[in-house]
Amino acid sequence: GNSVTQMEGPVTLSEEAFLTINCTYTATGYPSLFWYVQYPGEGLQLLLKATKADDKGSNKGFEATYRKETTSFHLEKGSVQVSDSAVYFCALSGAGGGYQKVTFGTGTKLQVIP
């Protein structure tokens, strides 16, 4: 079955530091890949996505590239801010029509300190 493995947290960074959160996946076919973010006291919201190999998703300064050869979708940001403190979830959605079950990673908590 499908699975997503992401680096364990918490990750603590100083403001303006470079961020990488690793995510690798196991899936059949060509899944879509996502990063969701959950701010304190809220539900998850889509941060970025990529639907095919070599696609780069980007939003709010965050980027991730769909690497089929390494089955990875690592999240990066060049300069984090305190407001980026949140929990980040890597996820995949199976290829094909019908019900597209989403498989989530376990989440990585990021804390950015001033």
Residues of this chain that bind another protein (CB under 8 A): 32, 34, 36, 38, 41-46, 49, 51, 87, 89, 93-94, 97, 99-102, 104, 106-107, 109
Smallest distance, another protein to C-beta of residue 108, A: 9
Give least dist CB 81 to another protein, A: 21
Nearer to another protein, 12 or 79 (CB): 12
Least Å from the CB of residue 16 to another protein: 26
Q: Which of residues 10 and 78 has its CB atom nearest to another protein in the complex?
A: 10
Question: H/E/C letters for each residue in the chain?
Answer: CCEEEECCCCEEEECCCCEEECEEEECCCCCEEEEEEECCCCCEEEEEEECCCCCEEEECCEEEECECCCCECCEEECCCCHHHCEEEEEEEECCCCCCCCEEECCCEEEEEEC
